[in-house]
Structure 1
């Protein structure tokens, strides 16, 4: 299975590293294109793959083409790529905000949209995968295999991609924001930065893994550690009084709305 990545950014590198490292494909089957010679040299020497600065030539024999460019670049690069595609080629897009119908624009092109997130860079990503109108179950399996090499991959409908964008696509930023707040409080309480960083990171990772392994819900786990009149109760009560949960829900709904706006141009 020959795979060509259009764009040599961080997410493309994460997927390339994952699929080669997990032996989903061989290095000889992967090609990456970009306008940056430095990035192409990085891929060539770091992963032993083929590189090119000519998109049309790179996709001519590709079974799978992964669009990993920024959305605003798509209109400029797509015409030459589309004209060079094999009729049976699968197009996988990790571009945010561009519907599969826009990519296919009435042509018989099989498109699968993917919304990944940045923890894919360390093999702990979360990706939503949605089939375009002509994509098959086998196409979804291919996309799940590729993204599964760098984390968790789940199949959703394209109508749900905006919600996935708000939840997991933008999700790492919410966690970083929480950590930023926790560390600021730790500084005000007099903890040394190195100590507070280690404790905060271990707490977030441990809490997530506890929820994963226990199978219990977030509210149930929170209740178990929130004894009435205790320190945790004082903290949670303050968060509730200040409407933090409502703010988080509103934030995700705003992200979903913005994703829809981008998709609609």
Structure 2
């Protein structure tokens, strides 16, 4: 899987930190962010992302989708974007939301779970990620794509 574009769904504190870290690392990726508040959208634009409120649009445009919404919003957001996730990598950073739940709402996505902190913004964050079940040989390329960034999601 070649990642050329990344959508950050939920560009709040963690989402914007990841966004700024990706910009600083010089990946050259097309960055797309969504958020509910105009202030968060404006910050995402200033950081270098295309930004808007339409989660489905962001998912359609991205190769890799990073879900950074609050746990209580995960189900609604995934129902909204599920059709656009087919064959795409989905990394959920929503704390305490099981991978099985995410996979049940996005059954055609390549689901990964992760945890990070705001230090990703400056390339010194601690990030873990895991995949509950491999979904094909192409999945083996996703971690290497993410590792090229000093702040992988």
When residues 51 and 34 of structure 1 are mapped into structure 2, their CA distance, relative to the original with a 3 A threshold, is same
Q: Hey, what does 2:119 align to over in structure 1?
A: 119
1:162-181 residue CA offsets vs partner (Å, 9 max, x unmatched): xxxxxxxxxxxxxxxxxxxx
Say whether 1:149 aligns with 2:151: yes
Once residues 36 and 114 of structure 1 are traced to their aligned partners in structure 2, the CA distance between those partners, rounded to angstroms, is 24
Q: Tell me which structure has the larger Cα radius of gyration.
A: 1
Per the TM alignment, residue 73 of structure 1 is displaced from its structure 2 partner at its CA by 1.0
Per the TM alignment, residue 142 of structure 1 is displaced from its structure 2 partner at its CA by 2.9
Per the TM alignment, residue 113 of structure 1 is displaced from its structure 2 partner at its CA by 1.1
Per the TM alignment, residue 4 of structure 1 is displaced from its structure 2 partner at its CA by 0.7
Q: Secondary structure at the match of 2:7?
A: strand
Q: Hey, what does 2:131 align to over in structure 1?
A: 131
CA RMSD across the alignment: 2.0
Per the TM alignment, residue 115 of structure 1 is displaced from its structure 2 partner at its CA by 1.1
Q: Hey, what does 1:233 align to over in structure 2?
A: none
Partners of 2:7 and 2:66 within 8 A in 1: yes
Partners of 1:10 and 1:121 within 8 A in 2: no
Structure 2, gaps ≥5 residues long = none
Partners of 1:129 and 1:143 within 8 A in 2: no
Q: Greater helix percent: which structure?
A: 1
Q: Secondary structure at the match of 2:126?
A: strand
Partners of 2:87 and 2:108 within 8 A in 1: no
Q: Secondary structure at the match of 2:94?
A: coil
> How do residues 59-70 of structure 1 correspond to structure 2 at under 5 angstroms?
59-70=59-70
Structure 1, gaps ≥5 residues long = 154-265
Partners of 2:7 and 2:64 within 8 A in 1: yes
TM-score (norm: length of structure 2): 0.84
Partners of 2:71 and 2:96 within 8 A in 1: yes
Once residues 127 and 48 of structure 1 are traced to their aligned partners in structure 2, the CA distance between those partners, rounded to angstroms, is 22
> How do residues 1-265 of structure 1 correspond to structure 2 at under 5 angstroms?
1-26=4-29, 29-44=30-45, 46-85=46-85, 87-105=86-104, 107-135=107-135, 136-146=139-149, 148-149=150-151
